[in-house]
């Protein structure tokens, strides 16, 4: 009588060209997707390609009831496209290889607009599945920090209920006074801010402690030193370090995709390709104000129940800005996100 094939549950560490390394209790198994999963993904790609125009504003921001139903369905249904961090069931073929039979439902995910998308094809790319923490890395200089982009990251983390840590890297470099002032603002808002340097070692032990027992995404703009920082945190990972173009000051991509690493001190760390901009996927117009933590005490107190907190009379958030209780630049970030603008 033939033995039944061994079925294991594991976590996807990386993947490229249909080949995935899956961490299991028996070690890492190199796997391919079962045929039906490949077919499902191909069909989902075809559906996206049928789009003939950009979604209207009300389509991008559905009503709360519709969004709740959509989120509930997403939690119950397994994802079609496999991403780093996904839990899967595999059928072992031999000692080193296997077949991915099933992708298990996700608990959380962090997504962005697919870099290959156009106005007629808007697709969502999951950077990491099932994470519970994101380290948002920005350089203090070379390149100068873009705090409006940080506000975008923080809003996405608040919406996805992912704990964010703000990391200001290259702390050994001279930087502008506004960097210190901005750091103070985020600390005042309750966010953990870590100053780090792969050169001097500043903040490395603090970050190591924060990574224990968590699945953490390391993300941020290109050229901020993410790969060098990861190498300092976990010697031996041998990630290629980034360079900053002296001509433009913009970072060059060096990490080609997401990779999940086990940390010797416990937990998992993902290093992702540099990101120029993130889209606020799945955040409704009604939910967006709650993603700015300083807005929350004033929500529901405006003169009009449909206040968008942009320029309406009787808006308590605008009054709080006038009173110096809410930072004006944070409000500008909110308005830009609400209107779909880049800052």
Q: What is the pLDDT of residues 132-168, one digit of tens each?
A: 999 999 999 999 999 999 999 999 899 888 999 999 9
The C-alpha atoms of residue 80 and residue 47 are separated, in whole angstroms, by 13
Q: Please tell me the pTM assigned to this model.
A: 0.75
Q: What is the pLDDT of residues 212-261, one digit of tens each?
A: 989 998 888 888 988 889 889 888 765 443 434 444 445 544 444 677 88
Answer left, alpha or beta for residue 269, where phi above 0 means left and psi between -120 and 50 means alpha.
beta
Q: What is the pLDDT of residues 247-257, one digit of tens each?
A: 444 554 444 46
Per-residue confidence (pLDDT) for residue 267, from 0 to 100: 92
Residue 108: band (very low, low, confident or very high) from pLDDT cuts 50, 70, 90: confident
Residue 56: band (very low, low, confident or very high) from pLDDT cuts 50, 70, 90: very low
Is residue 59's pLDDT more than 50? no
| Coil/strand/helix, residue 198 | coil
Per-residue confidence (pLDDT) for residue 67, from 0 to 100: 44
The 10 Å Cβ neighbour count of residue 108 is 15
Q: Rounded mean pLDDT of the chain?
A: 81
Q: What angle do CA 340, 82, 4 make, to 5 degrees?
A: 160
The C-alpha atoms of residue 314 and residue 301 are separated, in whole angstroms, by 9
The 10 Å Cβ neighbour count of residue 215 is 22
Q: What is the pLDDT of residues 170-190, one digit of tens each?
A: 999 999 999 999 999 999 999
Residue 45: band (very low, low, confident or very high) from pLDDT cuts 50, 70, 90: low
- Tell me the mean pLDDT in the region 68-83: 58
* Domains of the chain listed by start with CATH number: 7-106 (2.40.50.140), 128-271 (3.40.50.300), 292-339 (no CATH)
Look at the block and give the residue holding tokens 């001097």.
200
The C-alpha atoms of residue 168 and residue 34 are separated, in whole angstroms, by 42
Is residue 341's pLDDT more than 90? no
Residue 93: band (very low, low, confident or very high) from pLDDT cuts 50, 70, 90: very high
Q: What is the pLDDT of residues 261-282, one digit of tens each?
A: 888 888 998 765 544 445 555 6
């Amino acid at each position: 009588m033939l033995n039944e094939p061994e079925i294991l549950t594991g976590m996807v560490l990386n993947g490229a060209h249909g080949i995935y390394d899956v961490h299991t209790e028996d070690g890492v198994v190199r796997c391919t997707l079962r045929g039906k999963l490949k077919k499902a993904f191909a069909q989902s790609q075809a559906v996206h390609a049928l789009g003939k125009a950009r979604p209207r504003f009300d389509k991008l921001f559905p009503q709360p009831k519709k969004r709740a139903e959509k989120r509930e369905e997403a939690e119950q249904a397994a994802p079609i496209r496999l991403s780093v961090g996904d839990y899967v069931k595999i059928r072992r073929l031999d000692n080193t290889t296997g077949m991915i039979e099933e992708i298990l439902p996700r608990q959380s995910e962090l997504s962005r607009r697919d870099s290959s998308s156009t106005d007629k094809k808007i697709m969502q790319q999951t950077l990491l599945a099932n994470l519970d923490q994101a380290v948002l890395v920005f350089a203090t200089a070379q390149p100068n920090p873009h705090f409006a982009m940080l506000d975008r990251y923080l809003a996405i983390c608040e919406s996805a209920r992912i704990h964010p840590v703000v990391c200001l890297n290259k702390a050994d470099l001279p930087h502008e006074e506004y960097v210190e002032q901005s750091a103070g603002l985020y600390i005042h808002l309750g966010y953990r801010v870590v100053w780090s340097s792969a050169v001097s070692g500043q903040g490395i032990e603090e970050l190591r402690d924060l990574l224990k027992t968590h699945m953490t995404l390391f993300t941020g703009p290109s050229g901020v030193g993410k790969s060098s920082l990861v190498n300092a945190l976990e010697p031996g990972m041998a990630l290629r370090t980034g360079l900053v173009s002296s001509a433009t000051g913009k970072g060059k991509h060096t990490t080609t995709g997401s990779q999940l690493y086990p940390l010797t001190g416990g937990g998992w760390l993902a290093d992702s390709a540099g990101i120029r901009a993130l889209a606020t996927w799945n955040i409704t117009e009604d939910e967006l104000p709650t993603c700015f933590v300083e807005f929350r005490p004033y929500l529901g107190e405006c003169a009009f129940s449909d206040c968008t907190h942009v320029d309406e009379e009787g808006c308590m958030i605008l009054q709080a800005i006038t009173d110096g209780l809410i930072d004006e630049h944070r409000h500008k970030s909110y308005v830009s996100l609400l209107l779909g603008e880049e800052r």
